[in-house]
Structure 1
Amino acid sequence: MKILVFLVLLGLHSAAAVIHSMKHIFTVSSQVPNFPEYVVVAMVDDVQIDHYDSNTRRVVPKQDWMNRVTEDDPQHWERHTARCLDDHQLFKGYIETLKNRFNQTGDVHIFQWMVGCEWDDETGDVNGFRQVGYDGEDFLSWDVKTNTWIAPKQQAVIIKNSWNNDKERLAFLKHTITQVCPGYLQKYVNYGKSSLMRTELPSVSLLQKTLSSPVSCFATGFYPDRAEIFWRKDGEELHENVELGEILPNHDGSFQMSVDLNLSSVTPEDWRRYECVFHLSGVKDDIITKLDKTAIQTNWGKTGFPLGAVIGGVVVLLLLVVGITGFFLWKKNKKGKDGFQPANTSDASSSSPSSSSVGVQNTT
């Protein structure tokens, strides 16, 4: 069965970036072994700020600076934990409704709900979004401009029509996304500005496994992950004979990335025409590394290929996959009259899910 895994790499906006974002990701699963039935994650500028799951049954901060929230709201964590407990039951009803709508029984199923907002700290402009997914595919989405739900699947049309006919609820959703959510986002950004706005430049090395291997330009230790690296020749960026790697996390929270250059058709005399360029968002000056044979580190020479740093990043990535497997880009809404049937509990029948459980009052 198809499951879309939303891998959360802990990226941040740099000091120059003015668009901040907050997301709340809700995941309820059916028959997924060794994984909590219900998981809630909140993120600011793509950094996880808190976490809840149905095993621990507690909302806990994931950044030290998020502990400051109790300065303004002493009952913040207790209240949000209680809300998550209630929403869990409602989500269980939603996934059962969708299993019936798709004529499914048993097997592994994932229901996902994502809700959030963006705020431009220069212009003050705000934007909002809601998405629902089921088993790794789009099921419903909300358009903030038209304040309407969109159904990409036939099975979602009944629910879409029901939600779009509830004008009072639509007005409430738009208010919370365009007014309430940005207010919390601004507060959280202020709490964590020293961390969210920092930049760290990397060390850049030229690496080569064998004499016939491509030369890799390897940058490690940079922060945030909004960066690019590329080869250029005579000042022009190259798109042929190059292979760009993914940005990977290091064990200390920084990042690494590399780009390979195939030199099989390049004469030694032309090497001086090539250079590697690393650019970090928010930093004016690029790091430029000339292609110099004497500067290349190899695993057949004295310096040795620094496999430890690369392997370390891969290990951290695998750990992130395991730890965040349930956070899948999606969302949910409202009561049984919306087309979903809540679980057979008194709490679920009287409440609608709310991202207040992770820091935003009623933004779902």
Structure 2
Amino acid sequence: MNICAVIILMGTLVNGATSTIHSLMEFEISSTQVPNFPEFAFVAVLNGLPIQYYDSNTRRVVPKQEWMNRVTEKEAQYWERNAQRGFNIGQMLKGYLEIVRQRLNQTEGLHLLQVMAGCEWDDETDEINGYYQTAFDGQDFIALDSKTETFVAAKSEAFPIKLQLEETGEAVSLTYRMTHVCVKWLKWYMQFEDKLKRKELPLVSFLQKCSSSPVTCHATGFYPDRALLFWAKDGEELDEDPGEILPNHDGTFQTSVSLDLSSVPAEDWKRYSCVFQLSGVTEDLITRLDSSKILSNERKLSTSTITAAVLSGVGVAVVVVTVGIVLYRRHHNNNVI
């Protein structure tokens, strides 16, 4: 099983279209009695892109972005040191998982302990937020409140562990690591990521299931993810919900917006256009709607079009990543663990 590839939705959750917030997140999972799955694995994510992966089967850290191979220019023993770090974290979470299983009286069978740890840094205001959230078998368990340097227990069974962690000073120590050490590494990684500076405009296409369905404007292949796609009529933006920004297999992004034109006469369709705006690019990419160029189930698609559509949507929804998305969503919806 390939448990680290494209992280669906993560770019959207971490960065908004106009945000100047940078993030470094690590999603960790410790498991017991899960067939064909390592006992421990983690994936590190910088600004919505996976940058490195480790699991207990290989005991190696591998780069997930080409530019990550350059880190040894500044730290010769980087990969060896992080492999040891991965092993140490795995052992720690293995012990923690056992404590939780005993506390919940669930010592038999398949179990998972999931962790989201990391930080966000606003490069304009210099505001920093640190996160450390855990879940047991998909259920919220304990989270760090970095503002108060305390832990929050999601259920009564977690309360004794919360108290123990606070008594040993773990809350204070973890807060420092998430708000200082993490940010230091975030900035360190960013010096290598040339992709942060690049700007790539998308390929824009119009899609429609059938002649009576809404028309979808699909933009794929753009970078970075700080972008906005919307419909316009006679040059005026229409009030429609923006689409989610999703990652592609190659590190670029895609998004789409749909518009119901069923009540609009065919001769008026030319008044509509799809507008793409990319942060750092002054000129908008405007694609006027042309009914003859709409791809649909009623019109035969070329092999190259089908291939591009499939590849642009490639994403492995793995356990490590899925957990991270759920935890991150919960936090930003103010449902603190």
Normalized against structure 1, the TM-score is what?
0.75
Report the AA paired with residue 291 of structure 1.
L
* Secondary structure of residue in 2 paired with 1:99: helix
Deviations 1:266-318 (A, max 9, x none): 2234434433222333433332233333443455458769333222233x22x
SS in 2 for 1:264: coil
Q: Distance in 1 between matches of 2:142 and 2:111?
A: 17
Q: Is the 8 A contact 1:6 1:329 kept in 2?
A: no
1:171 paired residue number: 172
User: Would the alpha carbon gap of residues 290 and 71 (structure 1) be closer, same or farther in structure 2, given more than 3 Å must change?
Assistant: closer
Normalising by structure 2, what TM-score? Answer: 0.81
Percent identical across equivalent pairs? 48
2:217 touches 2:274 (CA, 8 Å); kept in 1?
yes
Q: Counterpart in 2 of 1:202?
A: 202
After superposition, where does 1:1-364 map in structure 2 within 5 Å?
A: 8-9=7-8, 11=11, 17-166=19-168, 168-192=169-193, 194-233=194-233, 235-239=236-240, 246-298=244-296, 300=298, 306-314=305-313, 316-317=314-315, 320-321=316-317, 324-327=318-321, 328-329=323-324
* Structure 2 unpaired stretches of 5+: 326-337
The answer to whether the 8 Å contact 1:111/1:133 transfers is yes
Whichever residue aligns with residue 64 of structure 1, its letter is: E
Please tell me the residue identity of whatever aligns with 2:258: D
Q: Distance in 2 between matches of 1:85 and 1:274?
A: 56
Q: Structure 1's 46 and 252: CA in aligned 2 closer, same or farther, altered over 3 A?
A: closer
SS at match of 1:149: strand
Deviations 1:225-275 (A, max 9, x none): 333323244524244xx8x76544444332333223222222234434433
Cα RMSD for the two superposed structures: 3.1
Cα shift at 1:28: 0.3
Mapped contact 2:17–2:227 kept (Cα < 8 A): no
Contact 2:201/2:223 (CA < 8 Å) preserved in 1?
Answer: yes
| Cα 1:165/1:304, change in 2 over 3 Å | same
Task: Read off the aligned partner of 1:329 and give its amino acid letter.
Answer: G
Task: Identify the residue that residue 345 of structure 1 maps to in structure 2.
Answer: none
In 2, the alpha carbon distance for the partners of 1:58 and 1:296 equals 47
1:36 Cα deviation from its structure 2 partner: 0.9
How far apart, in 2, do the equivalents of 1:137 and 1:37 lie? 19
Cα offset for 1:16? 7.3
Match of 1:109, as an amino acid?
H
The offset of 1:141, in angstroms, is: 1.1
What is the alpha-carbon distance in structure 2 between the residues aligned to residue 329 and residue 85 of structure 1?
20
Matched position secondary structure for 1:229: strand
Letter in 2 for 1:26: E
Q: Which runs of 5+ in 1 are unaligned?
A: 331-364
* Aligned equivalents of 1:154, 1:259: Cα separation in 2: 44
Higher relative contact order (CA 8 A, sep 6+): 1
Distance 1:72 1:202 in 2: 34
Alignment-mate amino acid for residue 102 of structure 1: L
d(CA) in 2 for partners of 1:106 and 1:188?
41
Distance in 2, Cα, partners of 1:18 & 1:281: 10
Residues 292 and 188 of structure 1: is their aligned pair in 2 closer, same or farther, counting only changes over 3 Å? same
Count of equivalent residues: 316
